[in-house]
Structure 1
């Protein structure tokens, strides 16, 4: 929410409840939020206790698919599966930059050095001209 949204919401609450009942409404809302937090913490503890001691370190955030894969397949850090290498091999930005330079008439040197730089680049698994 933007600051303007918060300001408009605050003005609407003051107009709706008035300055006399506003402290009482704020107390009720904060009490409700405390009850919701306590309920969610109790539910988390119930799930942990029902799953057993091997799941005592379970966090609901760990169940998100991306976090789960990162934690269990990639061992939390590093690139165990070579994903960065695959990502860089499939990234057409280097070829597109070279093509843009060629179209704009900018040369990076002799043709031999360009072919040498192409040979050093990783081979792509697809043909960029047909995709």
Structure 2
């Protein structure tokens, strides 16, 4: 519940509580607040049990944490066998390394290209992606329109 409260924040809260309530009333306030939190938790647990009993036996393994979209997706990705098989067949790092090597113009094997085979150099390497392409001829360059940009 208070996972993101650091030591400085905790000390600040304690000092403020002592200043507001005073050292003589502080134990009673802490006791009242902790009792209130216990009642809220008991009410919440009771409501969860009522909902589970009303849903019926087909939802006996239902967890309210599964309603969180992140938890639901994580659970589906880890428990679904088809998705596990797909994840094991797809190696993202290998694909990323191949793309990086293609960008750095290293020849790691056949890299699919959108250009036709006649447009590739005869040496068998892919196009040099680091070279700056030649500027188009002046007559084929589109006119600059300052209002359009």
TM over 0.5: yes
Q: Comparing both structures, which one devotes a greater share of its residues to helix? A: 1
Moved over 6 A (4+): none
Corresponding residue pairs, total: 108
TM-score by length of 2: 0.57
TM-score by length of 1: 0.64
Query: Cα RMSD between the aligned structures?
Result: 3.3
Tell me which structure has the larger Cα radius of gyration.
Answer: 2
Deviation sequence 1:56-105 (CA, Å, 0-9, x none): 12111122223323434542677233377264366369717x83xx8xxx
- Unaligned runs of 5+ residues in structure 1 are 103-113
Higher RCO by CA contacts (8 Å cutoff, separation 6 or greater): 1
1:84-95 matches, cutoff 5 A: 85=90, 87-88=92-93, 91=96, 95=100
